[in-house]
Amino acid sequence: MENEPGTVVVIEDDGHIADLVSMYLRRDGFRVVTTDRGSVGLERAAQSGVRLVIVDVGLPGEMDGFEVCRRLRRRNDLPIIMLTARDDEMDRILGLELGADDYVTKPFSARELVARVHAVLRRSSATARADELQVHEIGTLTVDTGRREVRTPRGTVALTTREFDLLSYMAANRGLALSRRQLLDGVWGEGWYGDERTVDVHVRQLRKKLGDAFSLTTLWGVGYRLD
Ligand code: CA
């Protein structure tokens, strides 16, 4: 079914944006369902064939985009892209913490959003396959989760358990913005309590040990993205 684009649910109350986004998605072969209500979007997202949900943070009515995201996550891991207001760092952080896969900041080009849709879908199908694959090739870096080994052009690099787990988590989610909280939940476990700066400390170690082979972008106020 991977070659079938499937359906994208667009929850957005700005009719102009919804139309434009739908047009671009349809052009790429997706079926599109649009609604301006969070509650309706949730219903639509439960129907078969839905591959991804795009949801605006600010929605009219009883349910905003965050609540939609929260409820979708409670249900399953259907990919979610949030549309956030420009420069609203809190929105971006909260969206990622609630489990959105990515966010796009308004104003955005429909072309960029559709590129993100493809990236998120590629990533989610790759994550589903990750158990069989277990070897991530990222540029000149090889992360072998089966052998728990990291190779760079200069040879094998020794990492601590936590450093390795952090790197493989990022590798499995590469190309996606990851908040510190997401990284803590994914690597340290959801029950882990502590400072989010712990992530930064480990990232610093990875940068030191892996050097140029490790192309990690720091997303100011949000977290990191492995490219
Ligand atoms: Ca809105």
Task: Express each pLDDT in 66-124 by its tens digit.
Answer: 999 999 988 877 899 999 876 777 777 777 778 788 888 888 999 989 998 998 888 77
In angstroms, what is the span from residue 24 Cα to ligand 1's centroid?
Answer: 19
In angstroms, what is the span from residue 14 Cα to ligand 1's centroid?
Answer: 6
Local confidence band at 160 (pLDDT 50, 70, 90 cut-offs) = confident
- Beta-carbon contacts of residue 89 (< 8 Å; ≥ 6 apart): 220, 221, 222
What percent of the chain clears pLDDT 90, i.e. is strictly above it? 46
Please tell us whether the domain made up of 131-226 is placed in CATH 3.30.1960.10: no
In angstroms, what is the span from residue 48 Cα to ligand 1's centroid?
Answer: 26
- 157-161 contacts at long range (C-beta below 8 A, 24 or more positions apart): 157/209, 157/210, 158/209, 159/206, 159/209, 160/205
3-class DSSP state of 40: helix
In angstroms, what is the span from residue 18 Cα to ligand 1's centroid?
Answer: 10
Start-end of H helices in the chain:
15-27, 38-45, 65-75, 89-97, 110-133, 161-172, 180-183, 197-210
CATH superfamily of 7-129: Response regulator (3.40.50.2300)
In angstroms, what is the span from residue 164 Cα to ligand 1's centroid?
Answer: 40
Q: Where are the domains of the chain?
A: 7-129, 131-226
Q: Determine the Cα angle at 26 with ends 82 and 59, to 5°.
A: 30
Buried b (16+ CB within 10 A) or exposed e, 214-226: bebeebeebbbbb
In angstroms, what is the span from residue 56 Cα to ligand 1's centroid?
Answer: 6
pLDDT at residue 74, as a whole number: 84
In angstroms, what is the span from residue 46 Cα to ligand 1's centroid?
Answer: 22
pLDDT at residue 197, as a whole number: 83
